[in-house]
Structure 1
Amino acid sequence: MKKQYFALAASAALALTLAACSGNGDSAEGGSGPTAISHIHGLGIDPVEKKLYVATHEGVFTPDKHEKPQLVGDSKDDFMGFTVAKAKTFLASGHPAPGSDGPGNRGLIESTDAGKTWKTKSLAGEVDFHALEYAHDTIYGYDSTNGMLRVSKDGASWDDRAKLQALDIAVSPDAPDVVLATTAEGIARSTDGGKTFATGKQPVMAFVSWAAKDALYGIDTAGGLHRSSDGGTNWVKTSTVPGGGPQAFTAVDAQRLLAATQDGVYESKDGGKTFSKRLAVESSSGH
Structure 2
Amino acid sequence: MSPFTRASRTPRSARRRRLAAAAATAAALGLTVSACSGTDDDRASSAGSPSGVTVSHIHGVGLDPSDQRLYVATHEGIYTPDAEGRPTPVGDHRDDFMGFTVAGARTFLASGHPAAGGDGPGNKGLIRSTDAGRTWEQLSLAGQSDFHALEQAHGRIYGYDSTNGRLRTSRDGVAWKDGAALQAHDIAVSPRDPDVVLATTPGGVVRSADGGTTFGRAAEPVMAYLSWPVADALHALDVTGGLHLSTDGGSTWKKRGTVPGGAPQALTAVSADHVLAATQTGVHESEDGGATFTKRLDVESGGGH
Give 1:12 deviation, angstroms.
Answer: 6.7
Give 1:22 deviation, angstroms.
Answer: 4.0
> Which residue identity lines up with residue 172 of structure 2 in the other structure?
D
> Which residue identity lines up with residue 63 of structure 1 in the other structure?
P
Once residues 187 and 109 of structure 1 are traced to their aligned partners in structure 2, the CA distance between those partners, rounded to angstroms, is 27
Structure 1 residues 116 and 214, CA gap change in structure 2 (3 angstroms): same
> Which residue identity lines up with residue 43 of structure 2 in the other structure?
D
Give a deviation string over 1:154-198, Cα, whole Å, max 9, x none.
000000000000000000000000000000110000000000001
Give 1:128 deviation, angstroms.
Answer: 0.2
Judge conservation of contact 1:10–1:206 (CA < 8 Å) in 2.
Answer: no
Once residues 165 and 228 of structure 2 are traced to their aligned partners in structure 1, the CA distance between those partners, rounded to angstroms, is 22
Choose which of 259, 263, 280 in structure 2 pairs with 1:241.
259
Partner of 2:206: 188
Give 1:199 deviation, angstroms.
Answer: 1.5
Give 1:282 deviation, angstroms.
Answer: 1.8
Partner of 2:37: 21
Judge conservation of contact 1:34–1:68 (CA < 8 Å) in 2.
Answer: no
Once residues 162 and 258 of structure 1 are traced to their aligned partners in structure 2, the CA distance between those partners, rounded to angstroms, is 29
TM-score between both structures, scaled by the size of structure 2: 0.87
Once residues 213 and 62 of structure 1 are traced to their aligned partners in structure 2, the CA distance between those partners, rounded to angstroms, is 29
Judge conservation of contact 2:124–2:142 (CA < 8 Å) in 1.
Answer: yes
> Which residue identity lines up with residue 123 of structure 2 in the other structure?
N
> Which residue identity lines up with residue 278 of structure 1 in the other structure?
R
Q: What secondary structure, in the 3-state scheme, does the structure 1 residue paired with 2:223 have? A: coil
Partner of 1:179: 197
Give a deviation string over 1:41-82, Cα, whole Å, max 9, x none.
000000011100000000000012332100000000000000
Structure 1 residues 57 and 12, CA gap change in structure 2 (3 angstroms): farther
TM-score between both structures, scaled by the size of structure 1: 0.92
Once residues 187 and 209 of structure 1 are traced to their aligned partners in structure 2, the CA distance between those partners, rounded to angstroms, is 12
Unaligned runs of 5+ in 1: 1-6
Give 1:226 deviation, angstroms.
Answer: 0.4
Q: What secondary structure, in the 3-state scheme, does the structure 1 residue paired with 2:59 have? A: strand
Give a deviation string over 1:20-41, Cα, whole Å, max 9, x none.
134542242479x761211100
Unaligned runs of 5+ in 2: 1-24
Give 1:94 deviation, angstroms.
Answer: 0.1
Partner of 2:86: 68
Aligned length: 278
Once residues 59 and 110 of structure 2 are traced to their aligned partners in structure 1, the CA distance between those partners, rounded to angstroms, is 10
Deviates more, 1:178-187 or 1:33-42: 33-42
Alignment of 1:226 onto 2:244: yes
